[in-house]
Chain A
Amino acid sequence: GAGVSQSPSNKVTEKGKDVELRCDPISGHTALYWYRQSLGQGLEFLIYFQGNSAPDKSGLPSDRFSAERTGGSVSTLTIQRTQQEDSAVYLCASSLGVSGTLYEQYFGPGTRLTVT
């Protein structure tokens, strides 16, 4: 079946512009996660959606970052007034649920964001 898809695969933007990154999770997966990974660094958890519950935004680095998930499926991560330090690969993952092995996450290929 289809895996997690993300678009665009690459995005180059100028400092100060807003960007939107899209994630299509695996069909039937109720949980969706956003991470970012800077070059040579580990994964930084950003935000997590589970079903219709309010998202856990505890990992968002600043109020310039926001995310929404419409209809319990597709999610959009928005970064306003981008800064050079926002340059990273933004990864989306989804999982069937949120207990035990249901936490097994499947990742999309990521969006490589470069802020010039």
Chain B
Amino acid sequence: RKEVEQDPGPFNVPEGATVAFNCTYSNSASQSFFWYRQDCRKEPKLLMSVYSSGNEDGRFTAQLNRASQYISLLIRDSKLSDSATYLCVVILSGAGSYQLTFGKGTKLSVIP
């Protein structure tokens, strides 16, 4: 099993739709989780951290499911400007060790 896996997509959704992506991770001791978005030929930009209790920022909701070892990102009322690749990041750190892994991303296209 790969350390961090994402469905590459593309997810093609109409404006106004709700769409959700998952990101699975293999190491149950992973501690910190984030979602980034990356526009074509641009650098990744932090979208939101993922808290254990779940968190919401406007139209975006992130959740963590430790039992099943995945994080999710829900986008409500999709806008054309949401079209991008969404990357998850999983971090594991401990005494003398550190492991940071980006998923390969899920591509979203929001269609008029």
Please report A residues at the B interface, Cβ cutoff 8 Å. Answer: 33, 35, 41-43, 45, 48, 50, 56, 91, 98-101, 103-110
Contact = CB atoms under 8 A, between A and B. Distances in A.
A56 B98 CA distance: 8
A104 B34 CA distance: 8
A48 B44 CA distance: 17
B104 interface: yes
Majority SS at the chain A contact face? mixed
B43 A108 contact: yes
B100 interface: yes
B39 to A, nearest CB: 12
A65 to B, nearest CB: 17
B105 A42 contact: yes
Contact of A43 (B32, B46, B102): B102
Contact of A107 (B32, B43, B91): B43
Contacts, number: 44
Contact of B87 (A33, A43, A98, A99): A43
A105 B43 contact: no
A19 to B, nearest CB: 19
B49 A42 contact: no
Nearest to A95: B46
Contact residue range for chain B? 10 to 19
Contact of A42 (B42, B98, B103): B103
Given A104-B34, A108-B43, A41 B100 contact: no
Contact of B43 (A45, A50, A91): A91
A104 B100 contact: no
Contacts of B32: 99-101, 103
Interface string B65-88: 000000000000000000000010
A104 B43 contact: no
B106 to A, nearest CB: 11
